[in-house]
Structures are given as structure tokens and as C-alpha cells.
Structure 1
């Protein structure tokens, strides 16, 4: 809590994702968290406007990119990590349990033996409790499985980045019904996050403006403990699991889940066919 990084959020309207530039005020070193690659899925067309916004901001502010962090393998947008790395450098990091996600969805997408399921597509695999440096700031990785096995919350000074583990207090929490998800594990992970100091800033990855409010992405641990509609006010594990299970059964699959999983489990690289042409698969009745 002794360090207060400069945090700038970038909202992607197409996927309701917030990407972040997190900078060390003392050195100008920074990290990008949860970047977005644009896709017109119907047309099979990739573009880079969202990533270019992040790249331009890093350059305009005179920052040096050291890390490109994925809080988890997203199912609702594609990662722009390799595109950004090519322009600005930095290491791509994700939770070490990515290997479980790769194993699960390697089978779903019939990837065969050419697809490595060891996390080697990433530059760093974070274990629970691992630390890393952004200039003079120390980042701290907390494993928060439940939404996916590889989810992590990253704490950098007085700021924590929740990924999909928590939404804004009136948004609650993420679903836990994807392969490898677990509502009970998600509750346990959230309770662990809520042991952080009440004053800590908490930045979330998605917001949908419940009940027509303006899009928002910053809250605090104290606000979450008091007001989160799914876990706040002392709600029990049993209450949460019952609610989450019933709610998840009513949810449709994210529109971009099929391309997102194939790309994101590869650290943002688009898969190719045997002739080297970028190509996505659509498994029938596989999810």
C-alpha cells in the first residue's frame, strides 16, 4: 500500500472490457493488463484499433513497457499481447494453471500434438505468491481460481486488478460454469481477495452498466465487502454456490468464446492451418 501506481483504464465497447496501463511514477516503467484485439467474427477480420490506443498512450506518456499481463484466458475477447509485444517489448505473463486450460480446450478444439500444453507460449507463468518488478514497484500474483483455473488477481502497490473474479459491487461476480470453473472455488478466492486492506483500489476487467448506470471500473476492497450483491454483507458459501449455479444455468455463451479461447490459450497468437494460413475452428456441440 506504500506505492500508488498511475492507473489508466481503456474501455472496449464491443466486449465491455477494460484494459489498463499501470505505471510506476518514479521510473516510467509500466504494465498493460488485459489488452484487446478487435475481431469482426462474422467477416473473420482482425483489426488493431484497441491495441493501437494502448500503444499510442504508452508512447505519448514516455513509458517503458515491461509486462503484458493476462489475468486469465478470457472467453469474451481476444488478447492483443503479441501485437503489443512486437511494438513495445515486454514479457507476457499468465497464471501457471494455464496448462490445465490448454489441456481442456486443446481437446475441445482437437488441436493435436502440435499444440503445446505446457504454457510455453507465455514468457512467464505466475504461481500463487509470485512477485515481479515494474520499475521500482513490486507486483504480487494471487491465485483466484473459480471462473477459470488460471485466474489471478494482481496487486501492485495500493491497486489490485481483479480480472473476472469480481465485478463492480452492483455487478457481483463472474460465472463459474465454463469447463474447469467451480462456484465454490470462486467464493473461496473472493474471500481471499477481500482480506486485502479496505482502502485498496480494485480495478475490474468488465462492466456492463447494470440498471443503466454509467460504465465504471474502479472500486475498493471495503466497498466490495460491504456492497457486492453476490458476496458482500457476509453472504455464505452455500448461498453463493446456490445462486451462482442457478444463475449460470440461465446464461448464454459469450459471443466470442470460440475464437477467444483458441487465441488466448496461445498467448494471443492466432492459430494456423498446415499451410500457415491463420484459421479458427468451430467445434460442433463441443462447449
Structure 2
């Protein structure tokens, strides 16, 4: 893959504190303007134990405690997309902090596909569960920094990358160079579209710090989880899209690889919660909450 290096250099360097959820291999980020203390949380995880059918807000409580302890002001809760591998904590953080919950405007396409599959006939599919729907090129203030939105679909139609100063938060579009790229076999996913999106990301200046949404250790090589790489490192060494990989080569690889992948372990609980902005199903008259498990008869 060859990217255009003419993109304007970003300004500012945010403080980035990563948090790793071992159960889902998910990275959550607390991002702050070091000059003003304005902060954002990206892709927070609501802990869910599938075997015990329990949820826990302990990790989210810790995040808000850190915000308070560091004297930060939480301005935004950001989602890069509707996750299929963990329950999102954005709704809970929004309700506790009053920071607006943000996602890409194409979330409506994801809602329109998955709400019927879960029999969620009462779910509005216009994105109203979120506070702010952002389009490509949108800019949100973060103290003396700015959050610039890149629409980077391919993994899902609603995926976005948040560029904040010299850092970009790419969600599931790219992983660490030794692990590659996201799957494209979900409804609305497309390998050619993902290639174009990654090209946009890699058009950022080569020193741009890239923060990935997940990390899975490769079969051989490093033994510690990682979250930070750079545009230069991705272009030089991403096993799926390094310099010289053509769109046709990537598409063929991605389609063949996706055919070998099992569904994410938490896809059924995750999607029905996450298309509702992370809000859990409402309680019944006895205060009980129920997830839905659609069955396919073979």
C-alpha cells in the first residue's frame, strides 16, 4: 500500500492513557489536552460475564475516578463504531458525567440491519440514542486541541477514526502491524472499502501515533499486549497492508481470511446493547433484565 504523504501536519500532542480489558482484548483510551485538562474517553468497555450473566461498572467507575483525581474535565464520550465483541460503556459514562456520547452518523445503517434481527421493534433507527452523530470532516473541540473525524468504513459502515493532534484512534480498522487489519464480513462490511479507509489513515503524517482498538498476540513474536504504533510503522510492516500491497491483493487476502473466522464470542449480547448506545434492556415489572438470543434453525 502506498499512501499520500501530503496531508497537513496535525497540531498538538494529547496525553493518552490506555486501559486494556483482558476479557475482550479491547483498548479504552482516556485522552486529555495537557494545557486545559479537557478530556475524552474512547471505546469504554462495560464488563460482562457471559457465563454468570452479570455486568459490572467497576472499570467505568475507575475511569471516572481517574478523571477526577487528575483534575480533568470530561467533554466527550466517543465510540469508533458499534462493537461486536464487547458491551460498550458509553451510555453509562454519559449518564454519570453528562459528557455527550458521540458516534459516526452511519450508525443508523447498522441499527436498521440489526434491530430486526434481535426483534427490537421498539428501537428507533435514526441514531437518537446517541447525543452527537458525526460525519466525515466534523470537528469537535477538546480544550486547545480539536477532534477531527475521518469516516473509515469497511469493518462496519459506521466506523470512524478520531484524529486528535498527533494521535489517531483507529478503532478496529487497523491492528498492530504484526497482526494486520479488521475483518470485513459483518453486514455492511467490505474489503475494498476498508482498503480505501486505511489508505486515508496512512495518508496522515508518518509520525502520527496510531492507537488501535484491540490487540491479539500473534502466533509468534511479542509476548506483551500493545496499543500504540505509527503511520510509518504500519506502512513499513503491517502484514496485510504494508507499502506495495495493492487493493486487489488486500481484497483477496481479506475475503479468504474472513471465511475462516468464527463469529466473535460476544457478538449476540454486544450488538443488541451497542446499537442502543450501550443501554441495557429495560427491566420488567420485577426489575429483571433480559438479553435476546435469536436462533437459527439448520
Give me the TM-score of the superposition, normalised by structure 1. Answer: 0.96
Please show how residues 3-82 of structure 1 align to structure 2 within 5 Å: 3-82=12-91
> 2:214 aligned with 1:215, yes or no?
no
Q: Deviation of residue 50 (structure 1)?
A: 2.0
Structure 1 residue aligned with 2:208, among 191, 200, 206?
200
Residue 130 of structure 1 corresponds to 138
> 2:238 aligned with 1:241, yes or no?
no
CA distance in structure 2 between the aligned counterparts of 1:36 and 1:110, rounded to whole angstroms = 24
Q: Deviation of residue 274 (structure 1)?
A: 6.2
Structure 2 residue aligned with 1:111, among 120, 125, 135?
120
CA distance in structure 1 between the aligned counterparts of 2:168 and 2:267, rounded to whole angstroms = 26
Please show how residues 242-261 of structure 1 align to structure 2 within 5 Å: 242-261=252-271
Deviations 1:48-71 (A, max 9, x none): 122122112111111110100000
Q: Which moved further from structure 2: 208-217 or 146-155? A: 208-217
Residue 267 of structure 1 corresponds to 277
Residue 282 of structure 1 corresponds to 293
Residue 227 of structure 1 corresponds to 237
Q: Which moved further from structure 2: 213-222 or 81-90? A: 81-90
Q: Deviation of residue 159 (structure 1)?
A: 0.4
CA distance in structure 2 between the aligned counterparts of 1:278 and 1:256, rounded to whole angstroms = 17
CA distance in structure 2 between the aligned counterparts of 1:64 and 1:137, rounded to whole angstroms = 14
Greater relative contact order structure (CA < 8 Å, 6+ sep): 2
CA distance in structure 2 between the aligned counterparts of 1:25 and 1:218, rounded to whole angstroms = 19
Any unmatched runs of 5+ in structure 1?
none
Q: Deviation of residue 273 (structure 1)?
A: 6.3
Deviations 1:30-65 (A, max 9, x none): 000000001111221111122122112111111110
Deviations 1:58-94 (A, max 9, x none): 1111111010000000000111112212322211000
Any unmatched runs of 5+ in structure 2?
1-9
Q: Deviation of residue 134 (structure 1)?
A: 1.1
Secondary structure of the 1:232 match is coil
CA distance in structure 2 between the aligned counterparts of 1:21 and 1:54, rounded to whole angstroms = 8
Q: Deviation of residue 16 (structure 1)?
A: 0.5
Residue 190 of structure 1 corresponds to 198
CA distance in structure 2 between the aligned counterparts of 1:2 and 1:45, rounded to whole angstroms = 43
CA distance in structure 1 between the aligned counterparts of 2:50 and 2:68, rounded to whole angstroms = 30
Query: Cα RMSD over matched residues?
Result: 1.3
CA distance in structure 2 between the aligned counterparts of 1:6 and 1:162, rounded to whole angstroms = 17
